Amino acid sequence: MTKLALGAHPFLLGFDQLERLVERTAKSGNDSYPPFNIEQASDHAFRITLAVAGFAEEDLSITVEDRQLIVRGRQSDDQSDRIFLHRGIASRQFQKAFVLADGVDVAGAKTENGLLHIDLKRSVPDTIVQTIEINKS
């Protein structure tokens, strides 16, 4: 049986980037740290919440690169004078990526009680009806 590429289907003209998007999403991995929630706030708004206890605002960065929302966390290691008898709280760096659909933009971000909230909004495009004239030859 021959594998049919998604972008090669005759009814999906111009969707070849969708296949690359699926591959990129699959490569982002299943790393579960830090844990996160995705909520639908309204018909056109979403919120991603990451548990970032122990990270200060300056330890976190949020960027959008090529329709991919990337959240990075890196704690400064200024604890050289501390001696731990037990260390059970994770203090590792992380990178979490979310692929954004066209028309979805970051509306804002804030930290609250050890949680990082990233608000997303989807702009609703205007419906445009276009009539194509048929030229006579």
d(CA 91, CA 88): 9
Q: For residue range 18-28, what is the model confidence (pLDDT) as tens digits?
A: 666 666 666 65
pLDDT of amino acid 21: 64
pLDDT digits (tens, 9 = 90+) for 33-66: 899 999 999 999 999 999 998 899 999 999 999 8
**Residue from 28, 34, 36, 40 nearest 119 by CA:** 40
Q: Is 102 a residue whose pLDDT tops 80?
A: yes
User: Is the model's pTM score more than 0.75?
Assistant: no
Give the β-pairing of 60-65 and 68-73. Answer: antiparallel
What confidence score (pLDDT) does residue 127 get? 86
Task: Give the residue-averaged pLDDT of 1-15.
Answer: 60
Sorted by where each starts, the structural domains of the chain and their CATH numbers stand as 1-30 (no CATH), 32-77+87-124 (2.60.40.790)
- What residue ranges in the chain does DSSP mark as E strands? 36-42, 45-51, 60-65, 68-73, 94-99, 104-112, 115-122
